[in-house]
Amino acid sequence: MKISIVGGGPGGLYFALLAKKRWPDWDITVYERNAPDSTFGFGVVFSDETLGFLDDYDNPSYEAIRRSFAYWDDVHVHYQGQVLKSGGNGFCGCSRLTLLQILQQRCRELGVTMHFNTEIEDEGQFSDSDLIVAADGINSRIRQNHEDWFQPQFDWRRNYFCWLGSSREFDAFKYFFQETEHGVVIAHCYQYEPGRSTWVVEMAPETWQGLGFDRMAEDEYTRVLEEIFDEELDGHPLIANRSLWRQFPMIRNRRWVKDNIVLLGDSQHTAHYSIGSGTKLAMESAIALFEAVESRPTDVDQALAEFEDNRRTEVEITQHAADVSLSWFENINRHWGMDPEPFAFALMSRAKKLTYENLQLRDQSFVDRCNEWFVRRERERGFEVADDTAPMFTPFRLRGMTVPNRVVVSPMAQYMAEDGMPNDWHLVHYGSRAVGGAGLMYTEMTCVSPDARITPGCTGLWNEAQRDAFRRIVDFVHQQSDTRICMQLGHSGRKGSTQVGWQRMDHPLPEGNWPIYSASPIPYFEGESQVPIEMSRADMDRVRDDFVRSAKLAEEAGFDMLELHMAHGYLLASFISPLTNLREDEYGGSVGNRLRFPLEVFEAVRAVWPEDKPMSVRISATDWKEGGLSDEELSVVARSFRDAGVDLIDVSAGQTVPDQKPVYGRMFQTPFADKVRNETGVATMAVGNITTPDQVNTILMAERADLVALARPHLSDPYFTLHAGAWYQQPDVEWHRAHGAGRFQAYRNAEKDREELTDLRIQTRPRSHEVVEEPAGSGEGRGTGRAA
């Protein structure tokens, strides 16, 4: 087999040495445009987990690498004159040049041919090669030659950054935050060899321009940065090495393989430096490519197909984490001004991999400090909170209503009503979840008129009989639990007169359809759904009055809180989104015009809803489609409702159009709640694929939301909150007196289960690869073998 590798970076070299080690008789050649001792930048970072992979696949290079690394366990966050320390992270840094030299030497030992100072313009010269690996970097010439096939996507991120070095040594990974008159400047710093550290400095474009960096030479802006970080440098200089200002390109390719050509490393994918090194991702991809070739050594086509199939998901997960991480730094102003504890916790948990419990496992003292801050703040708000109370079990006040904890049963359509009437099913459904301990519980979207229903099975609140049926439920909740209950009112709009959820959801009824309305006459499914009636002013008056009538009935039924549904493409949402509102009158066009009718409804309802009872609105923060609601418009929507007197914004997303392209993942809508809360000052509720108490505590501790709503977890476990109380051994979580014996058993079993799980997690954590030099005569330095 003849393999030609274009690009002598870490990914290309590592694949070369693995392949040559496995098949010594194969002809493997690396072509690199630069000299063997040329490199740009300073250090690279690996985790203990990645070093473990390197040890598994080639021990000699692993040993050389780990003996050249500077190792650290702690992350230090320097913010507002304080230093918050989080241990147990297990990272190490190495000079990029040293890493390349180690891999080059290993390739020589194994017999890999390497050509340096060799520019490859066209892979046609490798026509006799069985496999061509395009590891030629961000500006890959080979990828460019076949751009129509690979279809690369470049997402040039907002912040400007540059790589610098310093002679300042560190014993931890350091985040430095300095506020200048033009904005915040951030430095990501770590030591990579004795007497040398990497400084990645980044800032918003406005800050970069305000400081004049767009007009300065390298030596000039280096001096300015030395002044900004004078205290942190402690007398040491910054060192430049082609330290140019750039904006990070997030690169994705629709395809990775063309015939016998495969992309590898930065030509294939990039990941932002804030979650580690792109070198890590490149070398892990090199391992995956090697595994694929090893499984199909005589069938290159199949090997490359398996490589892309098996590796793509992992790369996309890493890139998504990188997207979330870099967004935190891009939006630093959103978090600036927080107290140090939530700021540091938000920084550590920004990419979602590190959570409340994971950070406890790594460094209990760090989480304890954050928890102490959270408890202290709640006491300052007038609540009696025990020292060891987890964030999710602290109370929260909205106007005259106080919920006993931050867990919310999210609105969930049941489709079990007849003529809008709630029945025994709803009593059991809501009653069991109230007894299950949630602080607040929402009804399913309850419709304000017969033609406002989504399906024939939806609940309604347009008459006294429905009011009385709901009062039966509310009375049970109040008599048998401390849960507060919120009525969610809505109108289906163009998504009405459809089949129930377990049939063809969002599709029209086979028969018996009723007229539907929307901001504009656009059907949900073109050619299949009904064309909605564009609302006239008279229609608006009728619908507004329907909401007012239902709000009065909700008050008579005894509900503690009221929410108006303005999300998911339903009627009020259809006015807000530019995808569904094409009106040319005063209710269409600008976001201010599109908000006119939703705000009118809110204000009319607020006027009849009791002053001491809170109101919320549910919004779709994005439509997940180009041309939909923008980030800037989301801010306008949130501020408009804040100014109108809303107490809480329930931040959901999407479901506006059927061809949406959502970006799913754990807690995937939480960043929108974070944006609304911390940019507008209004309380928010996070919702969307939040499944565990650990995630609830993570969101709350990072101040990304004030309440956390869970839907499906409450379907599978009505006692979610009580079980979480047992898991965290919370003494003040009350169980219904009829279930007292179950509480004792749940707490006893949970304590044992958590101890066992913690022990298992400790045992399965990657081992430390730090070299510990032993006294003379006792043998060579070796890894500590401890979990890190």
Mean pLDDT of 7-30: 97
pLDDT of residue 764: 72
Q: Token pair of 698, please?
A: 């993570």
Angle (CA) 261 266 267, round 5°: 35
- Read off the pLDDT of residues 67-100 as tens digits, 9 standing for 90 and up: 888 888 899 999 999 999 999 988 888 888 999 9
Q: Which of 178-192, 540-554, 755-769 is least confident?
A: 755-769
Instruction: Over range 706-710, report the average pLDDT.
Output: 98
Map tokens 């061509």 to a residue. Answer: 132
Predicted local confidence at residue 735, as pLDDT: 95
Q: What is the pLDDT of residue 787?
A: 32
Mean pLDDT score, 648-657: 97
| pLDDT of res. 66 | 84
Q: What pLDDT sits at residue 682? A: 98
- The identity of residue 158, as a single letter, is R
H/E segment holding residue 45: strand 43-47
pLDDT at residue 195 is higher than 80: yes
Detail the DSSP E strand segments found in 299-414. 396-398, 401-403, 407-409
Rg (CA), the chain: 29
Within 13 Å, how many C-alpha atoms sit on residue 597's CB side?
30
Per-residue confidence (pLDDT) for residue 47, from 0 to 100: 82
Distance, CA of 47 to CA of 67 (rounded, Å): 14
pLDDT of residue 774: 52
Angle at 559 between CA 554 and CA 561, to 5 degrees: 100
User: Would the pLDDT of 781 be above 80?
Assistant: no
Helices (H), 69-136: 96-110
Which residues are CB-contacts of 479 (< 8 A; sequence separation ≥ 6)? none
Share of the chain above pLDDT 90, in %: 88
Q: What integer is the mean pLDDT of 97-119?
A: 96
Reported pTM: 0.93
Of 451-455, 478-482, 594-598, 665-669, the poorest mean pLDDT is in 665-669
pLDDT at 727 over 70: yes
Per-residue pLDDT, averaged over 685-702, amounts to 97
Q: What pLDDT is recorded for position 772?
A: 64
Count of H helices and E strands in the chain?
A: 27, 32
Average pLDDT, the chain: 94
Residue 360 pLDDT exceeds 80: yes
**What pLDDT, on a 0 to 100 scale, did the predictor assign at position 92?**
82
Could you tell me if 609 and 645 are in contact, meaning their C-beta atoms sit under 8 angstroms apart? Answer: no
- The pLDDT, as a whole number, for residue 658 is 96
Residue 53 banded pLDDT, cuts 50, 70, 90: confident
What distance in Å separates the CA atoms of residue 433 and residue 421, rounded to the nearest whole number?
Answer: 20
Under 8 Å between Cβ of 406 and 394: yes
Report residue 39's pLDDT band, with 50, 70 and 90 as the boundaries: low
Mean pLDDT, to the nearest integer, of 317-326?
91
Dump pLDDT digits (tens) for 179-191. Answer: 999 999 999 999 9
pLDDT of residue 40: 67
> Is the model's pLDDT at 778 over the cut of 50?
no
**pLDDT number for residue 788:** 30
- pLDDT tens digits, one per residue of 137-156: 999 999 999 999 999 999 99
Least confident of 87-96, 360-369, 544-553: 87-96
Contact 78, 130 (CB under 8 A): no
Structure-token match 């891999």, residue found: 103
Let me know: does 739 contact 480? Beta carbons within 8 Å.
no
Query: What number is the average pLDDT over the span 692-696?
Result: 98
pLDDT recorded at residue 70 = 84
Residue 771 has pLDDT above 70, yes or no: no
The tens digit of pLDDT for each residue in 744-763 reads 999 999 999 999 988 888 87
Among all residues, which ones are annotated catalytic? Answer: 570
Q: What is the mean pLDDT of residues 265-289?
A: 91
- As a whole number, mean pLDDT of residues 337-366 equals 96
Q: What is the pLDDT of residue 90?
A: 82
- Say if residues 656 and 579 touch (Cβ distance below 8 Å): yes
Confidence of residue 275 (pLDDT cuts 50, 70, 90): confident
Q: What is the pLDDT of residues 410-419, one digit of tens each?
A: 999 999 999 9
Evaluate whether 29 touches 132 at the Cβ level (below 8 Å).
no
pLDDT in tens, 466-521: 999 999 999 999 999 999 999 999 999 999 999 999 999 999 999 999 999 999 99
- What confidence score (pLDDT) does residue 763 get? 77
- Cα distances from 153 to residues 99, 147, 307, 489, 709, in angstroms, run 29, 10, 20, 42, 35
In the structure encoding, which two tokens stand for residue 9, read together? Answer: 């970076």
